[in-house]
Amino acid sequence: MKLEEAPVCPYCGKKMAKTLPPPFNIGEGLGWCEPYLYICFNDECNFYTSGWEHIRLNYGKIASYRCMFYPSSGTQDTICVYSPDAMKGQIVE
């Protein structure tokens, strides 16, 4: 289901931001295949705030994740972030 407007985050209910995808990709090297992504940048979102401890305990790294949607399909996913300001400079709305 293609998203025509920004969805709300299923974890906090805040409107997600239209964001340019990262200039790098991890995995098969095919890229994000999207001109933009919808990402929740609510720093109070429980999904984001609990991610710091989850990644530290399970992987020994300092990172978290934010909720993300692909606009062409409406598929929900996560995107890893390494600081509270990560990707905020790529917001396009």
Domain ranges for the chain = 17-90
Provide the pLDDT for residue 22: 83
d(CA 18, CA 39): 7
Confidence band, pLDDT 50/70/90 cuts, at residue 61:
very high
CB 76 within 8 A of CB 10: yes
The yes-or-no verdict on residue 5 having pLDDT over 80 is yes
Provide the pLDDT for residue 6: 95
Structure tokens at 87: 């990707």
pLDDT tens sequence across 8-60: 999 999 999 999 998 766 655 567 788 899 999 999 999 999 999 999 999 99
Which residue stretches of the chain are H helix? 46-59
For 8, left (φ over 0), alpha (ψ -120 to 50), or beta? beta
DSSP classification of residue 78 = E
* Owner of token pair 């530290």: 56
d(CA 58, CA 30): 28
pTM, two decimal places? 0.90
Other Cβ atoms less than 10 A from the Cβ of 6: the count is 18
